[in-house]
Amino acid sequence: MVTDNTNEETTLEFEKALATAGDGQYVLRLYLTGTTPRSIQAVETIKGLCEAHLKDRYELEVVDLYQQPGRAEAAQIIAAPTLVKVMPLPLRRLVGDLTKPDRVLIALNLASEVE
């Protein structure tokens, strides 16, 4: 069940995303389950790609679903790891293996920077 608190949080996140929409900022959210090797690799891959392709233009939030299980329901996350590109629109989700940089860049609409 979604509470009013979650709705307020979602509204604030949306307003923050709108404020950064025009300045080329990327808002990314990475949902993980604990500190497994797969989770650690996902964080390293995403941070590395962001630093290489979005230097000073991104905000990355890492959400551990073991620590904050309610966030999975609120964001409709059914598997981990999941990377969500909140901004710029359109919203995109990449689920599963995040160790392949080309796949992640395509999901973030940054593939043209690789070519």
Per-residue pLDDT tens digits for 20-68: 444 689 999 999 999 999 899 999 999 999 999 999 999 999 999 999 9
Q: Which of residues 1 and 85 earns the better pLDDT score? A: 85
Under the banding of pLDDT at 50, 70 and 90, the label for residue 109 is confident
pTM: 0.76
In the chain, domain spans: 25-113
Q: Give pLDDT tens digits for 62-91.
A: 999 999 999 989 999 999 999 999 999 999
> Which residues, other chains included, contact 60 with Cβ-Cβ below 8 Å and sequence gap of 6+?
28, 29, 30, 46, 47, 50
Our CA angle for 103, 39, 107, nearest 5°, is: 20
Q: Which residues contact 37 (CB under 8 A, 6 or more apart)?
A: none
Tokens 């590109």 locate to 85
Identify the pLDDT of residue 115: 43
∠ CA(73), CA(45), CA(99), 5° rounding?
Answer: 80
The architecture that CATH gives domain 25-113 is: 3-Layer(aba) Sandwich (3.40)
